[in-house]
């Protein structure tokens, strides 16, 4: 069965932003290779202005976020939905619900709506109480206006089952195993293998960046600490102001070159992953694929992905202790190999793409029989 599939909810492909874009960059061409007609909606300001990418149709929609801030996301999502209403897609895959679910009443009739529920957005501490109440409302709307749902973590899956009584399909993010590290790439930054720690994340409070850097700053370690991420945000500027005087801590800004990112992770002494909300975080799976030795924030999401193949921290003191502790080569090599096995067996892109296609086909069969009844558990 060849289907017309539209993917909404991202800034667009190729990826220049984050996790959903990374997913779409692999999923959309994979569905094309499986014989489907796939369209991805891109922001009009996306660096890639072509109408096709790897066989995927690209439609640009007006996105005023650069000028009016976060409110622009609602306008962009509305523009994507209005355009999709004209196209007669079989399926709309909506990635995330933060600014899209309010447009549920105008989703096109006769099109199956499939939501990837992402994380528990209303729990993110970067938002005010008023915004968090709205996000909880948006979550309810996403459940109401989706025909079927996807959860990228068993923890998220259980949450939606317990709270709303719906079944969602568990499909995590994927990664490609990285096996060709180039020491020469480190020279671009003036580093050598094992001479630095690394953190890569959006500069937001719930990623525990300040806690991690507090722990490092309190240590007597002379290695460098590299921070990758856009610091042109209020919280990012706060971090630079607080830690910029420490010559060991270096803010490198955002880096999107995947080979450079893989090499930086591969050659780091420790890779810190502070994300505390959401489901299976893409950057965590990619760090596993990069053969990084991971120190993760101790929460159910990270525990579910990593199991015993990582160090964990809850407070700055834990970070200090881990940094000052002697290395245990045997144990740490075992952690790295364990995470490689997870990527090969569970978090690989061919398996994720196949999982999406299988779920789409199965859901569409139920949708057609039920004439579009919302929240069809499977």
The stretch 32-43 carries a mean pLDDT of 98
Q: Are residues 163 and 220 in the same domain?
A: no
Instruction: Report the distance separating Cα 96 and Cα 102, nearest Å.
Output: 12
Q: How confident is the model at residue 320 (pLDDT cuts 50, 70, 90)?
A: very high
Q: Are residues 94 and 214 in the same domain?
A: no
pLDDT score at 370: 74
User: Which percentage of the chain shows pLDDT scores above 70?
Assistant: 95
> Would 120 be classed as within a structural domain?
yes
Q: Are residues 8 and 134 in the same domain?
A: yes
pLDDT score at 371: 58
**Cα–Cα distances in Å, from 87 out to 59, 100, 104, 140, 259?**
11, 18, 17, 27, 37
More confident residue, 253 or 127: 253
* Of 118, 121, 146, the residue nearest 134 (C-alpha): 121
> Would 375 be classed as within a structural domain?
no
Q: Are residues 265 and 310 in the same domain?
A: yes
Q: Are residues 43 and 188 in the same domain?
A: no
Q: Tell me: pLDDT of 375 over 50.
A: no
Contact in structure between 44 and 11 (CB atoms under 8 Å): no
The stretch 155-171 carries a mean pLDDT of 91
User: Of 241-245, 256-260, 316-320, 324-328, which gets the smallest average pLDDT?
Assistant: 256-260
Q: Are residues 260 and 128 in the same domain?
A: no
What are the tokens at 258?
Answer: 């995947």
Residue-range definition of the domain harbouring residue 212: 183-345
Query: What's the chain's average pLDDT?
Result: 91
Contact in structure between 174 and 201 (CB atoms under 8 Å): no
Q: Are residues 258 and 123 in the same domain?
A: no
> Would 377 be classed as within a structural domain?
no
pLDDT score at 126: 62
pLDDT in tens, 359-371: 999 999 999 987 5
Q: Tell me: pLDDT of 378 over 60.
A: no
Contact in structure between 113 and 107 (CB atoms under 8 Å): yes
Q: Tell me: pLDDT of 130 over 50.
A: yes
Contact in structure between 184 and 334 (CB atoms under 8 Å): no
More confident residue, 182 or 279: 182
User: Of 34-38, 252-256, 277-281, 332-336, which gets the smallest average pLDDT?
Assistant: 277-281
Which range of 174-183, 280-289, 313-322 scores highest in mean pLDDT? It is 313-322
- Exposure pattern of 256-269 as b/e (b: 16+ CB <10 Å)? eeeebbbbbbbbbb
pLDDT score at 9: 95
* Count of structural domains, the chain: 2
> Would 378 be classed as within a structural domain?
no
pLDDT score at 258: 85
120: CB partners within 8 A, 6+ apart = 139, 156, 159, 277, 278
The enclosing H or E element of 295 equals: strand 294-297
Quote the Cα angle for 141-146-149, to 5°: 110
- Exposure pattern of 112-150 as b/e (b: 16+ CB <10 Å)? bbbbbbbbbbbebebbeeeebebbeebbebbbebbbbbb
pLDDT in tens, 218-265: 999 999 999 999 998 889 999 999 999 999 999 999 988 889 999 999
Q: Tell me: pLDDT of 122 over 50.
A: yes
Q: Are residues 213 and 149 in the same domain?
A: no
Q: Which residue has the tokens 């528990």?
A: 120
pLDDT in tens, 65-118: 888 888 899 999 999 999 999 999 999 999 998 889 999 999 999 999 999 987
Q: Are residues 168 and 252 in the same domain?
A: no
What are the tokens at 94?
Answer: 């909506």
* Of 48, 43, 206, the residue nearest 119 (C-alpha): 206
Q: Tell me: pLDDT of 57 over 90.
A: yes
Provide the 10 A C-beta neighbour count for residue 107: 20
* Of 361, 353, 358, the residue nearest 31 (C-alpha): 353
The stretch 37-47 carries a mean pLDDT of 96
Q: Are residues 155 and 287 in the same domain?
A: no
> Would 275 be classed as within a structural domain?
yes
| pTM (predicted TM-score) | 0.85
> Would 376 be classed as within a structural domain?
no
The stretch 325-350 carries a mean pLDDT of 94
Residue 65: which CATH number?
3.40.50.2000
Q: Are residues 66 and 145 in the same domain?
A: yes
Secondary structure (3-state) at 151:
strand
Q: Are residues 333 and 358 in the same domain?
A: no
Instruction: Report the distance separating Cα 166 and Cα 69, nearest Å.
Output: 33
Q: How confident is the model at residue 374 (pLDDT cuts 50, 70, 90)?
A: very low
Instruction: Report the distance separating Cα 362 and Cα 76, nearest Å.
Output: 30
């Amino acid at each position: 069965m060849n289907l017309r599939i539209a993917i909404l909810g991202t800034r667009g492909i190729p990826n220049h932003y984050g996790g959903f874009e990374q997913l779409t960059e692999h999923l959309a061409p994979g569905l094309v290779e499986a014989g489907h007609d796939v369209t991805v909606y891109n922001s009009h300001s996306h660096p890639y202005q072509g109408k096709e990418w790897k066989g995927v149709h690209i439609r640009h929609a007006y996105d005023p976020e650069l000028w009016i801030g976060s409110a622009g996301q609602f306008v962009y999502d509305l523009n994507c939905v209005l355009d999709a209403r004209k196209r007669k897609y079989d399926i709309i895959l909506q990635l995330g619900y933060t600014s899209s679910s309010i447009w549920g009443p105008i989703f096109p009739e006769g099109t199956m709506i499939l939501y990837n529920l992402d994380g528990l957005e209303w729990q993110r501490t970067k938002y005010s109480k008023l915004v968090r109440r709205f996000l909880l409302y948006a979550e309810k709307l996403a459940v109401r206006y989706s025909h079927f749902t996807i959860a990228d973590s068993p923890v998220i899956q259980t949450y939606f089952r317990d709270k709303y009584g719906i079944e969602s399909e568990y499909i995590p993010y994927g990664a490609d195993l990285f096996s060709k590290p180039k020491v020469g790439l480190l020279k671009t930054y003036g580093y050598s293998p094992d001479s630095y720690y690394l953190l890569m994340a959006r500069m937001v409070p719930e990623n525990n960046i300040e806690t991690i850097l507090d722990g490092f700053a309190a240590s007597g370690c002379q290695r460098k600490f590299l921070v990758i991420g856009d610091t042109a945000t209020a919280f990012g500027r706060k971090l630079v102001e607080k830690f910029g005087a420490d010559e060991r801590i270096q803010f490198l800004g955002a880096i999107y070159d995947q080979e450079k990112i893989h090499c930086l992770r591969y050659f780091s002494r420790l890779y810190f992953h502070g994300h505390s909300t959401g489901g299976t975080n893409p950057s965590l799976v990619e760090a596993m694929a990069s053969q990084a030795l991971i120190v993760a924030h101790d929460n159910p999401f990270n525990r579910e992905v990593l199991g015993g193949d990582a160090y964990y921290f809850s407070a700055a003191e834990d970070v200090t202790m881990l940094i000052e502790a002697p290395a245990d080569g045997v144990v740490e090599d075992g952690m790295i190999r364990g995470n490689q096995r997870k990527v090969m067996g569970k978090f690989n892109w061919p398996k994720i793409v196949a999982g999406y296609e299988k779920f789409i086909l199965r859901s569409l069969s139920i949708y057609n029989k039920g004439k579009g009844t919302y929240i069809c558990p499977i």
